[in-house]
């Protein structure tokens, strides 16, 4: 999750640099392509990771014991709760990520009338807070458990989100946007700290990749991939720029509910293999 946050931070810095260094007409004509050219580096980096990544001991032991004949059937029959909990937690995380991080510069420019340079700089500040918070809250979840950290994050997120949107919309400016981004990204960091380990712990080794792939990708596709369309539709239907807050608050409710049903395994000496 720190790597994902650093990637987003790199993108926000790139957006800040090109929006400050190029004239608006240059940015519209060709400047927007520059970050995508840099993004092509992901190809060789991904191949390197795929080639040299080591498997965990639990997976190696499971493979020696023999592959499961039908992991999808085992997942749907024996691990429905784990699938539902993971789906709910990823819905919360992906809505937060796509709205608070990906959509926020667009929101600041189109709905608040702020310069794009200020929007990107506020995003950089928020992402620094996010990156710093993730390992701290991951370590905290190792001590006190995943559930209390996730539940605190979703409750605080739900309570603070709408007032912060109202505050920024009432008097848009870089200072208020930066403060809001710092607070919201810190709370997202609290949630992201334990999330990867928490959802992996829900599944036994034999179906872990299958379970995570199904729950994660469907949640991201439906609630993240369509996030900007959903938010734009909400703004149009409700007639208020505060509509993005409603969508993220929905995600917080889903995340809290999933956290309640989370199976806590942070003190287990090992995860289930069967």
User: Is 213 a member of any domain?
Assistant: yes
The 10s digit of each residue's pLDDT in 144-179 is 999 999 999 999 999 999 999 999 998 999 999 999
Contacts of 218 (CB under 8 A, 6+ apart): 87
What pTM was computed for the model? 0.82
How far apart, in whole angstroms, are the C-alpha atoms of residue 188 and residue 132? Answer: 11
How far apart, in whole angstroms, are the C-alpha atoms of residue 107 and residue 113? Answer: 9
How far apart, in whole angstroms, are the C-alpha atoms of residue 210 and residue 262? Answer: 18
| CA-CA-CA-CA dihedral for 183, 188, 191, 194, to nearest 10 | -110
- Residue 92 in tokens: 């919360």
User: Is 149 a member of any domain?
Assistant: yes
Residue range 49-57: average pLDDT? 81
Alpha-carbon dihedral sign for residues 150, 155, 158, 159: negative
User: Is 274 a member of any domain?
Assistant: no
User: Is 248 a member of any domain?
Assistant: yes
User: Is 86 a member of any domain?
Assistant: yes
- Residue 228 in tokens: 């900007």
Q: What's the pLDDT score for residue 174?
A: 93
Give the pLDDT band (50/70/90) at residue 54: confident
Q: Is 29 left (phi over 0), alpha (psi -120 to 50) or beta?
A: alpha
Q: Domain of 68?
A: 2-260
User: Is 273 a member of any domain?
Assistant: no
The 10s digit of each residue's pLDDT in 246-273 is 999 999 999 999 999 998 876 765 454 4
Highest averaged pLDDT of the listed ranges 61-75, 96-110, 163-177? 163-177
User: What's the angle, vertex CA 263, arms to CA 75 and CA 137, rounded to 5?
Assistant: 120
The 10s digit of each residue's pLDDT in 216-251 is 999 999 998 888 888 888 888 888 888 889 999 999
Contacts of 248 (CB under 8 A, 6+ apart): 95, 96, 99, 100, 157, 161
The 10s digit of each residue's pLDDT in 1-44 is 898 888 888 888 888 888 788 887 887 888 888 888 887 888 88
How many domains does the chain divide into? Answer: 1
User: Is 268 a member of any domain?
Assistant: no
Q: Could you tell me the CATH number of the domain that includes residue 208? A: 1.20.1250.20
Q: What's the pLDDT score for residue 270?
A: 47
Q: What is the DSSP letter of 54?
A: P
User: Is 206 a member of any domain?
Assistant: yes
């Amino acid at each position: 999750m720190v790597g994902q946050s650093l990637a987003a931070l790199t993108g926000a810095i790139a957006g800040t640099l090109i929006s400050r260094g190029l004239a608006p007409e240059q940015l519209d004509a060709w400047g927007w392509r520059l970050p995508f050219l840099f993004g092509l580096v992901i190809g060789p980096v991904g191949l390197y990771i795929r080639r040299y990544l080591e498997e965990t001991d639990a997976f190696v032991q499971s493979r020696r014991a023999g592959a499961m004949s039908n992991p999808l059937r085992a997942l749907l029959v024996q691990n429905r709760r784990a699938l539902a909990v993971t789906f709910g937690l990823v819905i919360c995380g992906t809505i937060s990520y796509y709205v608070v991080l990906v959509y926020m510069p667009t929101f600041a420019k189109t709905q608040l009338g702020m310069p794009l340079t200020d929007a990107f700089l506020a995003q950089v500040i928020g992402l620094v807070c996010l990156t710093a918070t993730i390992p701290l809250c991951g370590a905290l979840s190792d001590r006190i458990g995943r559930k209390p950290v996730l539940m605190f994050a979703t409750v605080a997120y739900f309570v603070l989100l709408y007032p912060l949107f109202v505050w920024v919309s009432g008097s848009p400016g870089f200072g208020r946007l930066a403060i809001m981004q710092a607070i919201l990204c810190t709370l997202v960091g609290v949630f992201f700290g334990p999330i990867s380990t928490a959802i992996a712990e829900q599944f036994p080794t034999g179906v872990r990749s299958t379970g995570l792939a199904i729950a994660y990708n469907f949640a991201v596709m439906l609630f993240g991939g369509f996030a900007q369309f959903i938010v734009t539709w909400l703004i149009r239907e409700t007639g208020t720029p505060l509509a993005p807050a409603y969508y993220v608050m929905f995600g917080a409710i889903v995340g809290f509910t999933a956290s309640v049903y989370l199976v806590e395994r942070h003190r287990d000496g090992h995860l289930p293999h069967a």
